[in-house]
Amino acid sequence: MDKIAVFPGSFDPLTNGHLDIIKRAIDIFDKLIVTVAINTNKNALFSLEERVQIIQDVINYEKLSNVQVMSTDQLTVDFMKTHHANYIVRGIRNENDYLYERDIANINSALADNKIESVFLLAKSQNEKLSSSMLKEIIRFKGDISQFVPKVVLDRIDNK
């Protein structure tokens, strides 16, 4: 049976840290679905549709295969059932991420009757300090974020 994983997140915007996790996850699983969640946070930079489109553009630009991007308003475990996915991929940058992710993983596992597995990939050291929320602050003050995001994302931000 194919090993299908989801990589859920807000991706507002997608960073080099996210892209690194996507590339590494593709090497592990047969198929990866990047699931972009409705952003309940009022400080959203990009709309749901824009975030999906940007990730699709990055996938095309990088010529990544076996990866798909979809938006969802479902609970991750419900989305997974519909798409026959058994694995959740998440990135871990530091001990705060670890504690947060551990709780989510345990809850997701309980919600899915222990039928899913969460898999954690450690952020590369150069991406450890990188977060979408910090980038949003820099963007609002018109700072240079070119070293932190794929070129496709940078172009979209410049056009905004």
Q: Which residues are annotated as a binding site for ATP?
A: 10-11, 18, 91-93, 101, 127-133
User: Using the rule CB under 6 A, which residue among 51, 90, 136, 156 binds ligand ADP?
Assistant: 90
Q: Which of 31, 132, 136, 156 is catalytic?
A: 132
Tell me the C-alpha distance between 84 and 100, whole Å: 25
Could you tell me where the beta strands, DSSP code E, fall in the chain?
4-9, 31-37, 67-72, 87-92, 117-122
Q: Whose CA is closest to 85, among 1, 159, 160, 3?
A: 3
Q: Which of 42, 63, 142, 160 is catalytic?
A: 42
Cβ distance to ligand ADP smaller for residue 1 or 45: 45
Q: Known catalytic residue: 84?
A: no
Q: Known catalytic residue: 71?
A: no
Q: How many CA atoms, within 13 angstroms, populate the side-chain half-sphere of residue 139?
A: 25
Q: Which residues bind ligand ADP (CB under 6 A)?
A: 9-11, 15, 17-18, 21, 90-91, 93, 97, 123, 127, 130-132
Q: Which residues are catalytic?
A: 18, 42, 93, 132
